[in-house]
Amino acid sequence: MASITFAHIAKSYKDTPVIKGINLEVADGEFMVFVGPSGCGKSTMLRMVAGLESITAGDLLIDGVRVNELGPSERGAAMVFQNYALYPHMTVAQNMGFGLRMSGMAKPAVALQVQEVAQTLQITHLLERYPKALSGGQRQRVAIGRAIVRRPKVFLFDEPLSNLDASLRVQLRIELAKLHQQLKTTMVYVTHDQTEAMTLGQRIAVFNQGHIEQVGTPVELYQKPANRFVAEFLGSPKINMLGYTWDEAKQVMRISPHLALPPSLFKAAPHRLAQGALLGLRPEHCTLSAQDTGFVGTIEFMEYLGDSVLAYLHLSGVEELFRLKINQPHSPLKVGQVVNIAYSNDELMVFGADGLAV
Ligand SMILES: Nc1ncnc2c1ncn2[C@@H]1O[C@H](COP(=O)(O)OP(=O)(O)OP(=O)(O)O)[C@@H](O)[C@H]1O
Ligand SMILES: [Mg+2]
């Protein structure tokens, strides 16, 4: 078990900076998730920890010890990749034991350790098979087993479940969470999947173009995003963003020439709204109202999701359709209908013209 410290970590390929001075502390035993758009540097971060990529500047510490110059095998980090990366000519048992054999452990001891881990992951019956005779889910279990067997100080997962179908992803996600509870080893986990990020991460770091936008618990990031980027990145369906100008004389937010909203609609303080330029309204916090709220939209189309309905509304003078989630399997609403919108959450998200939360 170990903490991981990134101190002013930077990485460039030739003259192109891809990681731009990152400071981050992953606590001993923590499950940390990295999310962010494609190309923002998540894999590069993991590869630097694993020792698969050199570090251009800054200090990387594992358990308080600087490891910048240490080779991959000296760092006590094990990495699991998206594409499994199993050796095709070795059986499952040989794949799992390979690292231990290489480090000089005697065969019987290796076999014992492999057996133990295979039991934990319920793959004992697969030990003599070759990777080509395994399903995707089984292969990824083996890849995870190969990482565990070495008893690393830190686990690094780079989108380990993204090649699996939806139901298997959910199953393995739960198993990974259990594994973390059981082993209590520090884990850093990269994913594109919001649900994985929210459910697995004790904390989430949101990356954007080589820097971190915000680090926090899933609830903090969802309820109190530091900026527009984080607000838009987390949450599905995506948060609505409504640009406005504050009309001091009338004490309303002008969304468009035909749409002005009073602060009372959101239980928000006018002085706060006066500083902002953008409202963030999550679709699940917007409801339909039988009363005239003055916040009206016309239904353009609807999506039925089984347990809920997603309505897309046209607001007068607003280009982007407004998303509203109705928590009922059916809805009596019809396309073309004009409806009143209310806001159910106590906390209103307001962002300034610079995108920072107000
Ligand atoms: N060997 C390399 N040479 C030059 N540029 C590279 C190299 N490896 C990665 N990059 C660049 O570094 C940036 C970060 O890449 P990285 O793989 O870390 O992104 P990522 O966040 O993992 O993306 P994804 O979600 O698509 O996996 C990208 O712009 C990528 O093109
Ligand atoms: Mg990647």
How far apart are the CA of 49 and the centre of ligand 2, in A? Answer: 14
User: Which numbered ligand comes closest to the C-alpha of 35?
Assistant: 1
240-351, CATH topology level: OB fold (Dihydrolipoamide Acetyltransferase, E2P) (2.40.50)
How far apart are the CA of 355 and the centre of ligand 1, in A? Answer: 26
> How long a stretch of residues is the chain?
358
Instruction: Parse the chain into domains and list their residue ranges.
Output: 4-227, 240-351
Return the closest-CA partner of residue 77 out of 175, 147, 177, 181.
Answer: 147
Return the closest-CA partner of residue 173 out of 186, 155, 191, 154.
Answer: 191
β-strand partners of 349: 280
Which of ligand 1's atoms lies nearest the C-alpha of 40? Answer: 21
One-letter identity of residue 54: S
41 lines ligand 1 (CB under 6 A): yes
pLDDT in tens, 69-89: 999 989 999 999 888 789 999
Nearest residue (by CA) to ligand 1, atom 24, is 38
Asked whether the beta carbons of 258 and 295 are under 8 A apart, the reply is: no
Asked if the domains 4-227 and 240-351 are classified in one and the same CATH topology, the answer is: no
Which pLDDT does position 82 carry in this prediction?
Answer: 85
How far apart are the CA of 44 and the centre of ligand 1, in A? Answer: 6
Phi, psi of 332 (to 5 degrees): -75, 0
Which of ligand 1's atoms lies nearest the C-alpha of 190? Answer: 22
37 lines ligand 1 (CB under 6 A): no
* Greatest alpha-carbon span in the chain: 82
How far apart are the CA of 226 and the centre of ligand 1, in A? Answer: 25
Place of tokens 């640009």: 243
Ligand 1: residue of 19, 42, 49 to mutate (most ligand atoms within 8 A of CB) is 42
Which of ligand 1's atoms lies nearest the C-alpha of 14? Answer: 4
Nearest residue (by CA) to ligand 1, atom 3, is 13
Which of ligand 1's atoms lies nearest the C-alpha of 53? Answer: 1
In order along the chain (358 residues), what is the average pLDDT of each group of 10 residues? 95 96 98 96 97 97 96 92 89 94 93 92 93 91 91 94 86 91 95 92 97 98 97 94 96 95 92 95 94 95 93 96 92 92 92 96
Take residue 182 and report the two structure tokens written for it: 């059981």
Question: What homologous superfamily is domain 4-227 in, according to CATH?
Answer: P-loop containing nucleotide triphosphate hydrolases (3.40.50.300)
How far apart are the CA of 38 and the centre of ligand 2, in A? Answer: 7
DSSP-derived 3-state class of residue 201: coil
47 lines ligand 1 (CB under 6 A): no
Pairing of strands 77-80, 296-304: unpaired
Asked whether the beta carbons of 96 and 57 are under 8 A apart, the reply is: no
User: Which numbered ligand comes closest to the C-alpha of 207?
Assistant: 1
Nearest residue (by CA) to ligand 1, atom 6, is 13
13 lines ligand 1 (CB under 6 A): yes
39 lines ligand 1 (CB under 6 A): yes
Place of tokens 């409801």: 287
40 lines ligand 1 (CB under 6 A): yes
pLDDT in tens, 322-357: 999 999 888 888 999 999 999 998 889 999 999 999
Alpha carbon distance 66, 184 (integer Å) = 22
38 lines ligand 1 (CB under 6 A): yes
42 lines ligand 1 (CB under 6 A): yes
